[in-house]
Every structure is written in C-alpha cells, then in structure tokens.
Structure 1
C-alpha cells in the first residue's frame, strides 16, 4: 500500500502565508486581471492619468468633477492590476537529496510557500524541475484552486538524478512565455553555476536564489580517514579529516558563498542563504521578508 506523503504545511502556517505578498521591483504586464500593478492602464482603485473623452468611450469613466471645472469631458484612467507569472525552478538533482534536514525537502517547502503566496494574490505559478531526465514541469496554475496541484506536484517530484544547471537555464529562458519573479532553490553544486545564473539574466526575470545547504555541509563533524563519493557520479576522493583540513574546508566554503553572493549582487539577483537547520517557517516568515522577497 502506498503511503501518502505528509502535508507540506499545517493550517496555521498557511493562514500566516495568506497575509504575505511577493515584492516586485517593477510593474510587469500579465495576461489577466489580478492584484499586481501593471504598466498598462485599466480598471482598479489607483489613479494613473486623464485623457480626453472620445466617442464610444464608457461614460462611466468620465470625471465629472473635472468637467465642472473645465467644461470638457475627460476619462479617469486607473492603474491596471494584473497577474504575473511566478517561475519556480527547483533543483532535484542527487546532491540536493541529502542532508539532515534534507535539502530537497527544505527546497520543496520553500518553493511551495512562495508559490502559495503568489496564488493567494491571483498570480500564475509554474514549477520546473532541474534534474536530467526528470525535468518535469507543472503547467501554470492560478488562484487558490491552484494550490492543490502545486503542492501535489512538488511533493511527488523525485530526486536523485544528475543534472546540468546551465543547460536547464538556457532552455528555460528560450521557452518561458512571460517574464516575472523567478525563484531558484538550489545548492549550486554545479561547476557551471555562474553560466547558469548569467543565462537566466538574459531575460528580465526578477531572480531570487535560495542557496540551500545542510548543517553537515556547513559544520562537518568528522574525524579520521574517509572516502568521499560524488552523489552525481564524479570521482571519489580520499581524505584524512583533521583540524587543519576542516579549517581549510571552512575557509573555502566561506569564500565560495561570498563569491556567489557577490556574483548575484552585481547582476541584480537577490541572493538568500538557507541553512536547513533553520525551520522553514522561520526562514519564510523571517529571512525572505528581511531580504525583500516578501512583505
């Protein structure tokens, strides 16, 4: 008998997510009316501009106060509020399916929370997996009704395969229909991570990278002789873990993280580090808000 996966969130956390919204740095044109500012003019509650009345216009849009002053008909234009497409890229390669707490499970929950918040604002959400041979995609869903297929897709997404982050990024920028906020959840343990992020900036996505690492990677508690195996098929490495080796590891790790953050900062990418030891609820309600991804 197949056991159903545990729910991603409890009802209390979902109610907290209902009170959040995505932050975007600029208005983008969507396809349907939602709750996001658009560069187009439409019908909403926020004033944008006036224009002279022309035959055939809706007389309900006439500003009668302005007519009383100028004795000419003008239409009041409002800022259109339209949906965005929110792009979730979820790294489900073998290196992510590791650690305690597990990196892939953590990334699943972060992506699902981000997507749920977008759906609550009537935005459109699509999810793409990064693993080779498992590059599944959830066609875009919209509104609260999209939460169930979103959660179901993310929960059932398999892990454990290899992948090419650069190839996936290139394919994505060539095929994505609409730009919008893009969330990439990954450990970035790909030698071509720079090329992949640079490729994503070829189109005007608003990119947020959630760099996900496990405590065992950040603070390895090992001693003695070890044979390290590459989860994605690279050559094995034999090491002797002593204080000096661990010191060098920590130094290189800090340099690598600083390099990624600097690279992202120079290209307008919002870099947010995630230690899976931090509860997902605290990360979403705290870190994502402090770093300007949510409000």
Structure 2
C-alpha cells in the first residue's frame, strides 16, 4: 500500500529536507529503551569518553581504568557519553469541530503531527502519531526514516467524527501507553467538558507536555452577519442569533479570554502553550516559530 496524494501533500519534499536538520527539544530526562542519536545527560557505555568517577563496590570491573590505578593506586571508573532515544507522541484531536476552516484544522493538525513525527524518526526516536479516540488504537510505533510511509498512511486514514471528550480520549491514551516521553497535543480545545482534566492527566504521568492550540481565521474573525442559526458540530445543539458588531465584539472578547485562560493554565503547570493559526504555513511553523519558542533546534 502506498501513500495517497493527500498524505503526500502533508509534507512537501522541500519541508522534509528541512525537517531532517531539526531536533525536538525535551525539557526532561527520560530513560530510553534503545540506542538513538540523542545525547543524554546520563552517562552510559558508548564509545565516546565523558568522565571518571570513584569505584564503588558492585561496579563493573571492566570499566576500571587500570592505567590510572597503576599511577595513583586508586580505582576509578571510566564513564562514556550515552546516546538514547526518546518516545514522541503527537496526538491529533479528531472531533468534528476540527473539520472546520480552509484548510481544515484537522488537515493542519495532520501536517503538524507528520512534521513532528518525521523530526523524531530522523533522530531514531520512537514515534507514535495517534488520533485521539478509537482511531488511536491502531496507530503504529515507528523508529527510523523508513517509518515515514507508515506514518503518512496512518494519518491518511484518520478522519474526523470521533466526538470523544478530551478527558476520555487522554485517559484511553494513558491506559494504552504506559511509558513516558514527549506529548504534543494538537487540538482546538473545544470541548464542553473542558480541557483541564485531560492536561492534568498528562502532567500527572510526568510527560513533557506541549499544546498546539489550532484555530482557523474564520473562528478568530468570523465572516458572519445578520440572522443565523448556529449548530454545534459535535452534539447538534442549535441556537438562533442575530450577529452584529456588538455580538462580534463580545465573541472576540470571549475568545481572547478563553485563549488567555488556556495560556495561564499551561504556564502554571510547565506545559508549553503554542497557538497556531491554520493560515500559517506549516513550513514556517516548524522552521521558524517552533525554533523561536525553543521547541526544536
């Protein structure tokens, strides 16, 4: 099975070349399961010498520097720089509200997930791009550049409509993935039950948490006027409203208050908050915006 035209459009060849030079920055130290290309702050047993430390009973005798012992009559262990992999989880919100805008928030979320996933694959990290909800249960765990096509095929199969609450979706993710690592939640955070409990759950798992808050220009500045019937895309609730300058002003004030509250919530819990508009080119987001925010280097 080959990737479709739509999935190939997620990452252009030009962007792929730029992504190969990037690295996701983790703010925490995680114990990797396999050797990777990421320099660890822990000391290990690779070929690159790092330091000495005093011998302690029970240490591996093969690591003793016998030449140093002959000169100083003291036992020292040679320490080496260890390279380790990282587990990266880009999580894509696939609720119906994400199927809005031009391009849709879901399409942009897929692009961001694919780009972040490929950065991890190029660094030999373990990558699991997952849709929130039932579609996440068939997401592959990948490692190495060769995993790009499976990742794109999976994202190509992901559709909107899994209207699972963020709380339940993150709970399901947490039960299925017992390890730690970097989680990038890509969502519009539009959940009547709120986003707070879901993010608390990730922080409680000792994950390094990033939130990419995706909004479309049509949501930030709605091109609506006059009498309208508004229908909730997720639960079908309807309301009739007359949209005028006053209503639009109140809407934008409410939206800015919501964004400010999310930013404050994340800041207090050491979650990196990253607002993203769907009219921002993904190339620019990955190579400039995230670099400026210290998310990639």
Q: Same fold (TM over 0.5)?
A: yes
Whole-angstrom distance in 2 between the partners of 1:178 and 1:118: 16
Give the conservation status (yes or no) of the 8 Å contact 1:39–1:80: yes
Aligned position for 2:182: 181
Aligned counterpart, 2:159: 158
Residue 39 of structure 1 pairs with residue 35 of structure 2 = no
Asked whether the 8 Å contact 2:101–2:216 carries over to 1, the reply is: yes
Output the CA distance in 2 between the equivalents of 1:208 and 1:48.
Answer: 34
Q: Which residue of 253, 262, 265 corresponds with 2:264?
A: 262
Alignment partners' CA distance in 1, 2:167 and 2:59: 53
- Give the conservation status (yes or no) of the 8 Å contact 1:35–1:81: yes
**Aligned-partner Cα distance in 1 for 2:202–2:277:** 24
Mapping 1:45-194, distance limit 5 Å: 45=48, 47-52=50-55, 57-58=61-62, 62=65, 64=67, 66-67=68-69, 69-72=71-74, 74-131=76-133, 133-191=134-192, 192-194=194-196
Paired with 1:262 and 1:44, the residues of 2 have a C-alpha distance of: 44
Tell which deviates more after alignment, 3-12 or 213-222.
3-12
Segment drifting more, 91-100 vs 150-159: 150-159
Contact 1:28 1:38 in 2 (8 A): no
Residues 201 and 242 of structure 1, relative CA distance in 2, 3 Å threshold: same
Name 1:243's counterpart in structure 2: 245
> 2:4 is matched with which residue?
4
Distance 1:63 1:160 in 2: 65
Count of paired positions: 291
**Deviates most, 167-176 or 36-45:** 36-45
| 8 A Cα contact 2:3 2:153, kept in partner | no
Q: Which residue of 2 aligns with 1:230?
A: 232
CA distance in 2, matches of 1:284, 1:237: 38
SS of match in other structure, 2:289:
helix
Is 1:271 the equivalent of 2:260? Answer: no
Question: Using the alignment, how far apart are the partners of 2:12 and 2:53 within structure 1?
Answer: 47
| Structure 1 unmatched ranges of 5 or more | none
Q: Which whole-Å CA distance do the structure 2 matches of 1:58 and 1:52 have between them?
A: 11
User: Given that residues 186 and 211 in structure 2 are in contact (C-alpha distance below 8 angstroms), is that contact kept between their aligned partners in structure 1?
Assistant: yes
Query: In the TM superposition, what whole-angstrom CA distance separates every residue of 1:202-244 from its partner, at most 9, and x where no partner exists?
Result: 1110000000011100111111111111111241111111000
Whose helix proportion is higher, 1 or 2? 2
3-state secondary structure, aligned to 1:197: helix
Structure 2-normalised TM-score? 0.90
Distance 2:12 2:129 in 1: 22
The alignment's C-alpha RMSD in Å is 2.3
1:72 to partner: Cα distance: 4.3
The equivalent residue for 2:292 is 290
State the secondary structure of the residue aligned to 1:183.
Answer: strand
> 1:30, 1:38 within 8 Å by CA — same for their partners in 2?
no
Q: CA deviation at 1:25?
A: 1.2
TM-score by length of 1: 0.91
